[in-house]
A = this chain, B = another copy of it.
Amino acid sequence: MIVRPRPGLLTLFFVLKGSIILRTWPHLAAVGALSVIVVAAHRHAPQIVPGINPAPLTLIGIALSVFLSFRNNACYDRWWEARKLWGQIIQSARDIARQTVVLDKGPDDVSPERREILTAIIAFGHAAVGQLRHGTGTRAAGGPALFAAPADTILHPVAARVGLLSRQGRLVPVEALALNGSLGHLTQALVGCERLSNTPLPFAYTLLLHRTAYLFCFLLPFGLADMMGWSTPLAAMLVAYTFFGLDALGEELEEPFGLLPNNLPISAYAAVIEIHLRSAMGETDLPPMPVPQDYVLT
């Protein structure tokens, strides 16, 4: 996740870090170069490179905007759902820290059972990160790697421990119910993350919009050459900047657990869970808070 203040108007056009232009500039340059060639060719050999009427291009451009907007919406929803699921993991971890307070003799006397449970939850967070990040970029090699759920099995001994504490009367039924509910929320969030991780947007959507966007931007100079002359490269590149940018950004948000700049900092989330739970156990020798490096938090 990029963490930086919004630039002012002056620096706005020169910010690179966090801009999607770092990924799309070769294609932008290609559109620009093509525009120059098309305009020059149209000037010198109009019978070979005739001007195309731009009316159908306008129609395709508007249709493309509507469809790209739909895809961006879907990808953004995935990203935000992923964030919500990690919010649920953070919340459940805190809930468990609070729900196990009753196991302690007092504020300064953390019981071994509470320590055992909270340590397992910390491990769950880190295991979830490993499980979700491990799959990044290797999706095509087959989904299976993502299907195994090591993080989930960490919760089995916790469930057994809660069952035992409940039978021993250390947890009254209501408390055991709440704790089991929180474990269920952790599983739910993890299953949700796996869903996002191993179910990309239907491939045909990506392909269809990607192809149409590129075809459109490479046809645009032909439509503009006659009408705009040497302004064509600028106009074509501005259109391409928007369309390629939204396309690339949608692609980045589609898989929210990766290591790209606009992905979610799930390592930091797991670290924060660790700090919070260790602190709840009265530890003072805590790991440092995660800090963005070069504006990027991972």
Residue A70 contacts which of B72, B175, B229, B297 (CB distance < 8 angstroms)? B72
Sampled A-B contacts (19; CB under 8 Å): A3-B140, A4-B203, A5-B140, A9-B214, A12-B210, A20-B204, A52-B231, A56-B228, A61-B62, A62-B65, A65-B67, A98-B155, A143-B290, A166-B175, A202-B249, A203-B261, A205-B249, A208-B246, A211-B241
Q: What's the Cα separation between A280 and B74 when bound, in Å?
A: 35
The docked-state distance in angstroms from the alpha carbon of A166 to that of B174 is: 9
Residues of B within 8 A of A188 (CB): 91
Interchain CB contact (< 8 A) of A292 among B142, B180, B211: B142
Q: A98-B159, A202-B253, A262-B204 are in contact. Are A212 and B140 (CB under 8 A)?
A: no
Residues of chain A from 192 to 207 with CB closer than 8 A to chain B in the complex = 192, 194-195, 199, 202-207
CB distance from A179 to the nearest CB of B (A): 9
Q: A59 within 8 Å of B by Cβ?
A: yes
CB-based nearest B residue for A24 = B208
Q: Collect the chain B residues with CB atoms within 8 Å of residue A67's CB.
A: 65, 68-69, 72, 242, 246
Interface of A is mostly: helix
Looking at the complex, which one of B69, B83, B187, B252 makes contact with A91 (CB distance below 8 Å)?
B187
Residue count of chain A within 8 Å CB distance of chain B: 139
Q: In the bound complex, how far is the Cα of B275 from the Cα of A102, in angstroms?
A: 30
The 8 A-B pairs of least Cβ separation, nearest first, read A102-B163, A144-B289, A5-B140, A2-B203, A63-B65, A91-B191, A18-B203, A87-B195
By CB atoms of chain B within 10 A, which of A88, A99, A211, A291 has the most?
Answer: A211
| Known A6-B251, A142-B291; 15 more pairs at CB < 8 Å | A3-B142, A52-B228, A65-B67, A76-B202, A90-B191, A98-B187, A143-B265, A144-B290, A166-B175, A174-B180, A178-B181, A178-B184, A203-B262, A208-B246, A216-B238
**Which residues of chain B come closer than 8 Å to A177, judged between CB atoms?**
174, 177-178
Does the CB pair B160–A95 fall under 8 Å?
no
Whether B55 and A211, one on each chain, are in contact in the complex, defined by CB atoms closer than 8 angstroms, is no
Q: A118 in the interface, Cβ–Cβ < 8 Å? A: no
Determine whether A29 belongs to the interface, using a CB cutoff of 8 Å to chain B. Answer: no
Q: Does A48 contact B (CB under 8 A)?
A: no
Cβ–Cβ contact B60 & A58, under 8 A: no
Q: How far is the CA of A41 from the CA of B83 in the complex (A)?
A: 51
Partner pick for A242 among B12, B212, B235, CB 8 A cutoff: B212
Mark out the residues of chain A between 101 and 160 whose CB falls within 8 Å of any chain B CB in the assembled complex.
101-102, 104, 107, 139-140, 142-144, 147-149, 152-153, 155-157, 159-160
